[in-house]
Structure 1
Amino acid sequence: MFDSKHVRVFDEVVRTGSFAAAARNLGYTQPAISQQMKALERSVGSSLFVRVGRGLKLTDAGEVLARHAADILGAISTAQQQMTAIVRLKSGRIRIRAFPSASATLIPSAVASIKNQYPGIRIELSEGEPPDSVEALRRGDCDITLAFTYNTATEQPASDDVFAVPLLDDPLIVLLPVGHPLARRRSVELAQLAEEQWIAGCVRCRSHFVQACAAAGFDPDIGFTTDDNLAVQSLVAAGVGISVMPSMVQSFIRHPKVVSRLVAPAASRTVAAYTLAGNQNVPVTQLMLEALREAAEEMRRGA
């Protein structure tokens, strides 16, 4: 393997025809040029020039290197330009995986903020629920994943290989039809809803909901299961069931015939952004994490 600096000097010697001319053009001394060419010849394992009178003639090995020198230097220059563009955020790519309600709330604001300032950055979004989305991060399928945890030790995805950025606490709410007897209350205890029929969401949220009901002393009658937020609210509005969901889910679409009330005792899920440990220092990743923090702060202020 040879030094690209030596290749650059070699290319100048070939172009000018002498060590002296190359030294003048590059701002080196002639002995320095001679030393660098000797170092290059040691790396190659062959002489590159032979003296012919007062001039230089390329050896067979020199002819081969001369044919490729421009391509080598061009490739290095292109790589340097591209890396500089990435470091200066003029280009680059960030792949995000998020659960649906984060895709509808945090992501649009964060993406818009970045695209307005750095239009050359490509942002790709795919959806996934935790814990699968965290495993996708570990597999290298994304650069950042947004995930949520219900505050139990068994659910925490953090480990030595993952860097976590807490974003917000998302309180749980109960959805009731506007005519429900408890709709006027500021908060509703789960135990007061023990006789209701329920609409449950994703498997993970449903599991946490069932545990919360058990803690309140009852086993919920789950008549409907759907991940579709609009379907949940429409079913509640129709009076065929009620539902518990994180407030983030209702922040981007609200049915006019549904009211939301905080669950008592208060409960929430924690939303965070995750990236592989060390990746948080990559400029484009760092930029996206900061944009997500700002989007979460905007949500908290607007709550």
Structure 2
Amino acid sequence: MLDVRRMHVLRAVVASGSVSAAARELGYTPSAVSQQLAVLEREAGAQLLERSGRGVRPTEAGRLLSRYAAVIGEQLAEAQAGLDDLRAGRAGRVALRYFATVGASLVAPAVATLRRELPGVRVELRLTDPEDPLPQVRDGRADVALVVRAADAPPVDGIRFVHLRDDAYRAVLPAGHRLADRRVLKLAELADEPWVGSEGPGPCRDAVLAACAAAGFAPRVAVQSEDYPTAQGFVAAGLGVSLLPETGLGGVHPAVRVRPVRDPRPVRVIWAALRECAPTTPAVHTLLSALRAVADPHGG
């Protein structure tokens, strides 16, 4: 096996035309250079240099290895520059998985911040509904995934979770509803109403059902919608009331009224999931900081 360092010694000798000149350039003694060349010739199984006056010149095998040493030197320099760019955040890629209802309110502004601060970083975005993104994080296909899970959910092997936001649900009522003029509603006041379901099976629906159960009832779903704008449309048409998370409200339909809810206050908890043992690159650090700033602009 040829030693790359000895090939660079050969390249210096070929470029300078003498062992002594190469030794001065490399900071070695002439004896050390000669020893390196002797080992390289044994590795190559061929004579690499021949005497030429007071200096040396390469044999055909010497010229061949010297050319490859130059190419390897350029590639190593490029590799080092690439590593420097990655460490500084000037290049690279960050892969983010997210669910639809945080796309506009959370992901878009955070990615915009990342692109302003690290314009050389490529961002790979992918929706995961209804797929569980945690296996992608665990095996390195994704750097960050946004998920909803209960605050007291058990740990997941190989994953660390960073809290982003407690996303409170709000009551959405038809504009003419008897409770529409109330500033704050108790959740139990909606117990006898027909409901527009706004969540598909999963942790978001679980958060709503758990809050309703704590208030002493199970919602009577008259019409099901797993899309928040459509749910608002059903409410506006008078088909029922609904609970929608703050980050999923977007533009509020003109024919509905949105009110805070308490006793209890339904909440879904949004987390950023990262691989536990993965190094935090500048790109991931900047994206995570941007997500936290957007999710909780007041820092609390």
Shorter chain as normaliser: what TM range? 0.7 to 0.9
How large is the RMSD of aligned CA atoms in angstroms? 2.6
CA distance in 2, matches of 1:299, 1:229: 26
CA distance in 2, matches of 1:163, 1:2: 44
> 5 Å matches for 1:1-303?
4-38=4-38, 40=40, 44=43, 46=45, 49-52=48-51, 54-56=54-56, 58=58, 62-129=62-129, 132-153=132-153, 156=154, 158-200=155-197, 201-204=199-202, 205-250=204-249, 252-263=250-261, 264-298=263-297
Unaligned runs of 5+ in 2: none
Q: More displaced, 27-36 or 83-92? A: 27-36
- Contact persistence 1:47–1:61 (CA under 8 A): yes
Name the aligned partner's letter for residue 264 of structure 2. P
Structure richer in helix, relative to its length: 1
CA distance in 1, matches of 2:224, 2:230: 10
Aligned length: 296
Please report how far the alpha carbon of residue 145 of structure 1 lies from its aligned counterpart in structure 2 after TM superposition. 0.6
Give the secondary structure class of the aligned counterpart of 1:203.
Answer: coil
- Contact persistence 1:279–1:285 (CA under 8 A): no
- Contact persistence 2:145–2:273 (CA under 8 A): yes
CA shift digits 1:164-205 (9 cap, x unpaired): 221121112121112211222233233222222212222112
Unaligned runs of 5+ in 1: none
- Contact persistence 1:110–1:292 (CA under 8 A): yes
CA shift digits 1:1-59 (9 cap, x unpaired): 555443322222122222212223334432343344355456x3646535436544546
Give the secondary structure class of the aligned counterpart of 2:161.
Answer: strand
Name the aligned partner's letter for residue 282 of structure 2. P
Please report how far the alpha carbon of residue 235 of structure 1 lies from its aligned counterpart in structure 2 after TM superposition. 1.0
Please report how far the alpha carbon of residue 150 of structure 1 lies from its aligned counterpart in structure 2 after TM superposition. 2.8
CA distance in 1, matches of 2:131, 2:207: 14
When normalised by structure 2's length, the TM-score is: 0.86
Q: More displaced, 205-214 or 70-79? A: 205-214
- Contact persistence 1:168–1:300 (CA under 8 A): no
CA shift digits 1:126-146 (9 cap, x unpaired): 112477022221233311111
CA distance in 2, matches of 1:38, 1:181: 96
CA distance in 2, matches of 1:141, 1:220: 39
